Chain A
């Protein structure tokens, strides 16, 4: 069998996520992310009525999609894809038009208020290039986050995806995400539209 090209991917086993937000914090420190904006965060919901009630969590980050809408939207090719599938931003060329932020179905992007360009999770590409794991993965207390080359059948991500029922966010958008979830509840995976205006004022 010919060796397939390397493709970085992440699997998040939600059965192991305790919602401690260590990933959120380590990402902020590792990537110097300013106050108020997040490259990764943990969404949390409560489902059911007492006493039948459970909390569910969903760590969120850029999905490094194979068919990335942000890549198509960027008018100055500041958003690009590396050979191993990560979607990155060239901060020296981003003009800050924010069109990518409108295009991303996952709310993954934000404007860095200090640098004044678009920004998002890079899979800690600077670490990965050096043979390290992304900061959120190394710090994940429960070992929920797993990172690796999904095209290497011996890698843990490939095994997890092969041997578990996995989900991706908004598959109907045809974005082909490379962040896979195990055990995600459908009520937390997208938006909730049943009572949109309760938060107003």
Chain B
């Protein structure tokens, strides 16, 4: 290759899909991961995971209610977003995503309702005050608590959950395809991308579920404590997380080996992440903090039995997966298509503010849901004083 080439004039092409899109991928991943965990008990019939089914579905719905706001916020013409529903392009991953992002939360919502109906109906009859009114409303008048009715609920929930698992996989698989379909971007254009996104979704979904379970069981459940059964289930979920980390890391290793032996742009991308300026974000944060340390924590007998360590590992996986989304979305566009330097990226302050607002909204929704919905069964005392 001729090496003595100097670029004298060219136009700068800044990165276009930025932090909002990265965080959108993060939310969708969390949602898909939570849903799959919720389905372990209800669909796959693994009894020990039944207690987390409700928590999982609440997270899946709450996260996917907020996720698309990031997409709309990123549009230059946000008021035109609804045209996505009828001006379809069968070649565009986004057209498929529009419907997946609509159907999946709706399906999850109905699935969740069938998981909760028994508690709504019981609560509407046994409780007093605010919760009685709320549960009566949420039961939509379906108060039948007979064995046959409850069996029917479980059957429908299983059906919707069975439908929901492929939907969840498709919702997050499609986000991988959004990137993988783009032949122009060396870092994105791999068949592994949807799988990498799915596995990182499972890692982060498990991580957040562990944190939400810990917090809500301790402070919002009727017992206000993490009982020994709950603790053993949390530790068990952490072991699941360890295996998700193993698969995720394996895919990442395969991806980067392939990238290293790819064409000139792919090789440049691999070098940028392995020993270029992105090595801290990739090897340090995404791989080191996000995969390696949580793996060690969930592997060592001493730390894997401690809720504190498990919680710490879960926080790290979330940080790691956020870094992964940013690395792939923004880093992928920084590899130039016509220039001789990295394409620049500066986060728009408006976008950062939006992310903050959406995150607050998300935390509020999750808090209210875990506070007022019978995620862990009904309050023990029949008389509730709080309003």
A interface residues (Cβ-Cβ under 8 A, vs B)? 19, 38, 41-49, 55, 60, 69, 71-78, 93-99, 101-107, 110-111, 116-118, 173-174, 187, 190-200
Contacts and interface: CB of A to CB of B under 8 A. Distances in A.
15 contacts: A44-B9, A76-B89, A77-B88, A94-B80, A95-B84, A101-B16, A102-B184, A105-B337, A174-B183, A190-B337, A191-B336, A192-B339, A193-B267, A197-B341, A199-B340
Contact of A116 (B7, B76, B83, B91): B76
B272 interface: yes
Nearest to A50: B4
A19 B9 CA distance: 10
B76 A96 contact: yes
B325 to A, nearest CB: 15
B87 interface: yes
B77 A95 contact: yes
Interface string B1-39: 111111111110100110000000000000000000000
B83 A95 contact: yes
B122 to A, nearest CB: 45
Contacts of A55: 8
A131 B3 CA distance: 45
A37 B231 CA distance: 57
Given A75-B98, A194-B3, A69 B183 contact: yes
A199 B343 CA distance: 9
B340 A196 contact: yes
Contacts of A60: 11, 338
A117 B76 contact: yes
Contacts of A110: 13
B246 to A, nearest CB: 31
B363 interface: no
A103 B183 CA distance: 7
Contacts of A97: 71, 74-76, 94
B80 A75 contact: no
A96 B341 contact: no
Given A111-B16, A117-B76, A74 B89 contact: yes
Interface in B62-81: 71, 74-78, 80-81
A19 B8 CA distance: 11
B272 A102 contact: no
A116 B74 CA distance: 12
B83 A200 contact: no
B333 interface: yes
Given A72-B91, A75-B88, A102-B16, 18 more contacts: A41-B10, A45-B8, A49-B4, A69-B184, A71-B91, A93-B80, A97-B94, A101-B16, A106-B337, A107-B11, A111-B76, A187-B2, A191-B339, A192-B339, A194-B1, A195-B340, A196-B268, A197-B276
Contacts of B146: none
Contacts of A196: 268, 272, 276, 335-336, 340-342
Contact of B75 (A46, A96, A173, A187): A96
A111 B16 CA distance: 9
B193 to A, nearest CB: 13
Given A105-B184, A194-B3, A200 B17 contact: no
Contacts of B11: 38, 41, 43, 60, 107
B89 A77 contact: yes
Contact of A173 (B3, B7, B95, B184): B184
Nearest to A60: B338
A116 B77 contact: yes
Nearest to B267: A193
Contacts of B81: 95
B72 to A, nearest CB: 9
Contacts of A78: 87
List 5 tightest A-B contacts by C-beta distance, closest first: A96-B76, A199-B341, A75-B94, A105-B184, A193-B268
Contacts of A99: 17, 92, 94, 178
B4 A191 contact: no
Nearest to B10: A43
B80 A200 contact: no
A93 B75 CA distance: 12
A187 B5 contact: yes
B342 to A, nearest CB: 5
